[in-house]
Structure 1
Amino acid sequence: MAGRPKSFDVDEAIGAFVDVFWTKGYRGTSVDDLQDAAGIKRGSFYAAFGCKDDVFEIVLEKYWSEATEAGLKILDEDKPPKQAVAEFIRHIGSFMSLNTPRGCLLLSSSSETTGANNGEKPLVCAKMTELENRLLRTLKKDDDETSAICARDQANFVLAVILGLNAMAKADCGPSRIMAAADYAATSIASK
């Protein structure tokens, strides 16, 4: 007679999965790592969560709703667009300063999926496109001063900045250097 499968808290398991992917990255994370982090046996893991790609999708959605949306809400505030974007950049700098050497799960995943042909690539690309579109939508609010081409250039600049801040966090450059870079970029975008 087979024993009863070990029960586990799904939310706690997903929280453990976030930590594993955020720390090790998609490629560096194995199913064994995920099982070990959550204390789940292989059969229970697959029955509850499916494959690694399915788990990564759950993780990235959770991360997006909890971490990314907090920053993106700044872009939706009722203030001048460039001021909102400058505050967004400073928010990202602060987030990176608090999360060295892990950086940002989404931004790290975007560089990890370059040239990849695995399951996480479409989801990461979709989230990066959504991030870019939110920046564009904010920058285009200032129609008198910002043409569509200029807004696209500014959005690309902001993406380059936040990817750079992520690289600084992953390289453990230290909070003061990360914040100095974020402040400089925020001042640059606000003054254009």
Structure 2
Amino acid sequence: MQQPHPFTHVWYVSYGSNLCRERLLCYLQGGRPPGARRSYVGARDHAAPQTDSAVDLPGRIYFAGESSVWGGGVAFYDHDQTSPGGFTPARAYLLTVQQFVDVAVQEMHRDPHPDDPLELVVGSGLAAGRFEAGPGTYETLIEVGRRDGLPMLTFTAPHGTDDVRHTPPSPAYLHMLAEGLREAYHWDNDRITGYFDAVTPPTSVPSADLDDAP
């Protein structure tokens, strides 16, 4: 008889566009987020997160690469570096292990699939606090802590902030981050702009985009 996994639920910790709940729901329920170039099939379980909470991460984010979804750079998390502001604002969503895996594989540009081997990895706990599902973007899983006895997991690239050239994010991508920061932290535009100024390369933040946001 197959033994049950130690964990049935985990906290998915987002520091990027999934700070915005509407954007995360596209990964769970399918659809295309505003400003994106791609639609998502959604998870096998379309249920919304059971709860969510703002969390402060000790590492820092940086923007690199060229997004096929948003254009411009996208956010990655370096757990071993210190954020310019002392912490990285993030949002933890309580998901089932299956839902987390389905979100993760869509970030890896794959569709959810029954019996994905990543479910066993996540459900069993990351033995070393880190697991590389592959060499690509968002294929490195990191446990950033525990909450209520459950792993708090995020995903990022295998490289760190000092290993790659930083590239400015697009206005549409920053708009998603800004929406999430308003929802989770209740930050105003001035604080959001200050945060973006601290973590993005020069010639980056389009402040008018924040003014257009509701």
TM-score range, shorter chain: under 0.3
Q: Which has the higher helix share?
A: 1
Q: TM-score, normalised by structure 1?
A: 0.28
Q: TM-score, normalised by structure 2?
A: 0.26
User: Rg larger in 1 or in 2?
Assistant: 1
